[in-house]
Chain A
Amino acid sequence: MSLLNAEDARTLAARVATIVSADEAEVVVVSKESALTRFADNRIHQNVSECDTQISIRAVLGAQTGSAATNRLDEDALRACATAAVDAARVSPADPDFRGLPAQTDLRHRVGAMRTPETFGAEQRADTVRSVVEQSRIRGLHAAGGVSSSVETVAVSNSHGVDAGMTVMSVRATVLSSGDGAGTGWASYFGSSSSGLDAIALGDEAATLALRTSSPQDLAPGDYTVVLAPEAVADIVDFLGYMGFSARAVAEGRSFMSGRIGERIVSDAITISDDAFDAHSCGLTFDFEGQPKTTVPLIDSGIAIGPVTDSYWAARTNTVNTGHALPAPNAIGPLPLDLAMAPGDATLDALIASVQRGVYVTRFHYVNVEDPIPVTLTGMTRDGTFLIENGTLTSPLKNLRFTQSAIEALGTVHGVTAQRRPFQTMLGCAIVPGLLLGRWTFTGQTE
């Protein structure tokens, strides 16, 4: 099996849709080729690749739906998969709010998104690793991380003429530098190609930070002003997306936006949208129902504007379909996969310089939700936490635990950086700036 291009994937999806004996049928083809070279202790210790193509079928009988999926592409397997989807639909209770599969709608594409993916093979990944690692090795440090590439073709076809397909690529590189007597430093890259990946600079950033974080100090628990580097902000935005920006979460009353659309919920310095057409986005420009993604303002200058929808939740909540369906069957609801926080006009250095006493956070680790509506998060800081005193980074700090409502914290924004960076997140990708927050609660530290 090899990676399907968009045209072949669309052809396959359309052909499979014709063998589904149902009132309506939807077929999603996901063909993916990915590879990852991981390293630790300055040597490559894991080197993997995979190629897979999966066919997912949603069959509809009236208001009854059923789904089935397979990665076997022979005719018998595809027919068996179609039969399984129809059989599931036949015994499923009808959903009175199901209005049928969506119709064909004109698609638009992100500039440059349809180009042929570059080759980023095992030898290129090894050369990248060598350049990254060398920056730690020459300083007597140890580097760990990974260099990966992924090419994914998605095609959607349905019995109402939906015919969408595109191929997207992403490249990611990470490096954690550490050493005896040193602390730990981190740097990462994420983009739609390797052209922006400067391996030497990446390795240098992490190694420099590792040397700077040696002999970390204690910090008493309490409320602090914090400057969050963009990678830390990406975690917060990611959780906002998962917990609150879905039409389902809003309708069920478990979102911070539930009953508050049109109200100010965070600082007026905060504007967040879902934007698959941002030049830095690596995602699809249509959703898994083949509907065009629209750029959705979620929070505008602190005001809750509204969530993302799919065909089902748009109908159920009497709003427009924004094109944010996940693959069927979808027990989560629509989600924003291309979150973008608007930039401000500051530099990260200027934000730090404005703080009398506070904490600088490079990134977070193992963040989880304790309370859904205020999005109360707990997690740790990691790989570059510093005390800020009189506008300067002074002592490195031991990794700190925080327990903090994200909504409350975003109500205390005192500065936003002009520069934004893209990150891979659990939902997709997020393009975010750095932030200066007036209050952030640290509740402990590690040893």
Chain B
Amino acid sequence: MWDVIEAALDAARLTGATYADARVVSTRQQTVSVADERLDAAETSDSTGIGVRVIADGSWGFASSSGPDLTAAVRVARDAVAIARAGSRVSGTPVRLAPVEAYRDSWQGLCARDPFDVPLEAKIDLLLAADTALRSESAVKITRATMGFVSVHTFFGSSVGSRIEQQHTESGAGVVAYSVSEGEVLSRSYPNSHGGNWLQGGYEVIEGFDLLGNAPRVSEEAAALLTAAPCPSGTTSLIIDGSQLGLQVHESVGHPTELDRVLGDEAAFAGTSFLGLDDLGRLRYGSDHVSITADATVPSSIGSFGFDDEGVPGQRDFLVTDGLLTGFLSSRESALSIGRTSNGCMRADGWNRIPLIRMTTVSLEPGTWSLPDLIADTEDGLYIETNNSWSIDDKRLNFQFACEIGWEVKNGQKTRMIKNPNYTGITPHFWGSCDAVCSAEHWQVWGLPNCGKGEPIQIAHVAHGAAPARFRNVQVGVGR
């Protein structure tokens, strides 16, 4: 594929591009899903193409096509330059990029057992068995068991001189049971909601989840939710489990620290950020207990890579240090606005998309508490698990999350189960109310393979490490 990359870069240069990068990306996917003891889907798919991004006349242009041969490479490069020139008719300051070294390197993610070599019937059998176990409770009327695999092979070249080849495989799976009664549908998932958990790795990831072993508990909890108490309304102490806290980090720290949002580039679609450039090093994002990192080097995380799609090495950076805003997620272009070089967050979700600033593994760093100690230390509050719904405003300030399940905490004890717990808050106030974070023993990476951003919409695979944490004076039971 290097000849195709070279042809694209040459064509871009000869057509007048002052910068160019080209990516040939081949993606292979498999989805297997079971519903109500029947096979819902068994599909493999592949997609290959080339995307060329250029700067010409001071403006960006990007063109892409399937069928990445030499002819397509030249045509796409020329199209990208023509598009850039058209865009320069409504341009501002010419695009400038922070410097990056030229790398000639390769990177491969961890994968012990290639999931595409595992027979399809073994996958179907596992899901059907898990699905049957999910139906052990009669109140459970709807069941789903899914697994998926993605393998990505990328060749990247840039006019800076980089030539980088990367390969990785991701595996994910999950089960969900729905209990249904008149006017009410309640879900319980494992290992996470919205398709389960995803990690970089092969079939060993699926085996590690033990879907079959966890399905009966999931079924029991789904059934129990039907008779659980509704979420009380008011202000209370809230202990949030790691999976939900991962999504809280995602929505209220990850997205607002994306520098393209801060600069207004996503204003019309997903929105901007409550953060400004001047907040760097000044704004109290949270309490002293809150430190948040962006780390593209976490083993087995779907937020990890060797180089981003601008050829910048994956790296670990602090976004929030002991409660203080200390960093943004950046690109080569946006990093100039804060006088830094890129911290390597530009990723595209395929050959036909431009790289955007995306989260890597954005994590709440672990604290010192054990979860039993944290619950024992809480006189009156709620402990909640597993996301059910999420929403946040266009500046990433006002959020509202709902979870699948919760328990009241009274005098240091987990007591009665509650259904449909939800909570709302304002981002810096909420993080400022954090008074305890559990330890590394409870810390886990949660893969999130459905982060939507940009137009045309791109779905990024990102991740979040989190352990349970406690927040004071949180409004719960909203609209209940």
Contact = CB atoms under 8 A, between A and B. Distances in A.
Nearest to A70: B46
A70 B27 CA distance: 10
Given A50-B352, A72-B67, A444-B424, A126 B87 contact: yes
A254 B42 contact: no
B38 interface: yes
Nearest to A42: B92
Given A43-B90, A142-B264, A145-B268, A370 B402 contact: yes
A45 interface: yes
A380 B251 CA distance: 15
Interface stretch (A285-293, A361-369, A430-438): A361-369
Interface string A51-83: 111101000000001111111110000000000
Interface string B21-36: 0000000000101011
Interface stretch (A7-15, A18-26, A174-182, A335-343): A174-182
B64 A36 contact: no
A49 B393 contact: no
A365 B272 CA distance: 12
Given A47-B84, A126-B89, A254 B400 contact: no
Given A72-B48, A122-B83, A146-B455, A48 B63 contact: yes
A250 B392 CA distance: 30
Contacts of A125: 86
B479 A87 contact: no
Nearest to A150: B456
A329 B43 CA distance: 7
Given A1-B72, A129-B90, A174-B268, A366 B456 contact: no
A246 B117 CA distance: 36
B265 A254 contact: no
Interface string B161-184: 000000000000000001010011
A330 B38 CA distance: 13
Interface stretch (B217-225, B316-324, B383-391): B383-391
Interface in B403-421: 420
Contact of A48 (B44, B62, B265, B402): B62
A373 B354 contact: no
A444 B398 contact: yes
A438 to B, nearest CB: 17
B94 to A, nearest CB: 10
B267 A176 contact: yes
A176 B395 CA distance: 14
B187 to A, nearest CB: 9
B41 interface: yes
A382 B267 contact: no
A71 B354 contact: no
B43 A67 contact: yes
B265 A446 contact: no
Nearest to A34: B456
A178 B267 contact: yes
B391 A443 contact: no
A41 B61 CA distance: 18
B264 A67 contact: no
B263 to A, nearest CB: 8
A46 B61 CA distance: 7
A261 B223 CA distance: 27
B398 A252 contact: no
A43 B90 CA distance: 5
B100 to A, nearest CB: 20
B256 to A, nearest CB: 13
A445 B64 CA distance: 42
A157 to B, nearest CB: 18
Interface stretch (B120-128, B287-295, B338-346, B372-380): B120-128
Contacts of A446: 393, 395, 397-398, 426
A370 B388 contact: yes
A403 B41 contact: no
Contact of A93 (B38, B48, B388): B38
Contacts of B444: none
A220 to B, nearest CB: 15
Contact of A331 (B35, B64, B391, B422): B35
Nearest to A125: B86
B267 A144 contact: yes
A122 B456 CA distance: 16
B400 A378 contact: yes
A403 B478 contact: yes
B62 A47 contact: yes
Given A252-B142, A403-B479, A133 B44 contact: no
A101 interface: no
Nearest to B392: A366
B46 A399 contact: no
Contacts of B303: none
Interface string B55-89: 00001111111110000100000010011101111
Interface string A347-367: 000000000000000000111
B472 interface: no
A54 B87 CA distance: 29
Contacts of A50: 51, 63-65, 352-353, 456
A87 B116 CA distance: 13
Interface in A361-400: 365-374, 376, 378-380, 382, 399
A426 to B, nearest CB: 9
A87 B123 CA distance: 14
Given A443-B424, A444-B478, A447-B426, A380 B86 contact: no
Given A66-B42, A126-B86, A443-B479, A252 B141 contact: yes
Given A40-B268, A41-B264, A254-B180, A369 B389 contact: yes
Given A88-B120, A146-B268, A370-B402, A447 B397 contact: yes
Interface string B438-480: 0000000000000000011000000000000000000100110
Given A43-B90, A253-B141, A373-B184, A122 B120 contact: no
Contacts of B422: 370, 378
Contacts of B207: none
Given A72-B48, A366-B392, A380-B394, A40 B264 contact: yes
A280 interface: no
A37 B274 CA distance: 26
Contacts of B229: none
B227 interface: no
Contacts of A404: 479
Contacts of B268: 38, 40, 144-146, 174-176
B86 A93 contact: no
Given A41-B264, A42-B92, A122-B87, A366 B391 contact: yes
A71 B89 contact: no
A344 B379 CA distance: 55
Contacts of A118: none
Contacts of B456: 34, 36, 48, 50, 148
A324 interface: no
B152 interface: no
21 contacts: A39-B90, A42-B92, A45-B92, A65-B42, A67-B41, A126-B87, A126-B89, A130-B89, A144-B264, A144-B268, A178-B267, A252-B142, A329-B41, A330-B41, A366-B393, A373-B184, A373-B185, A399-B394, A403-B479, A443-B424, A444-B475
| 3 interchain residue pairs of minimum CB distance | A403-B479, A329-B41, A43-B92
Given A330-B41, A331-B35, A331-B41, 14 more contacts: A1-B65, A34-B456, A46-B354, A48-B456, A49-B62, A69-B43, A71-B49, A72-B48, A93-B39, A176-B267, A366-B393, A378-B478, A380-B393, A446-B398
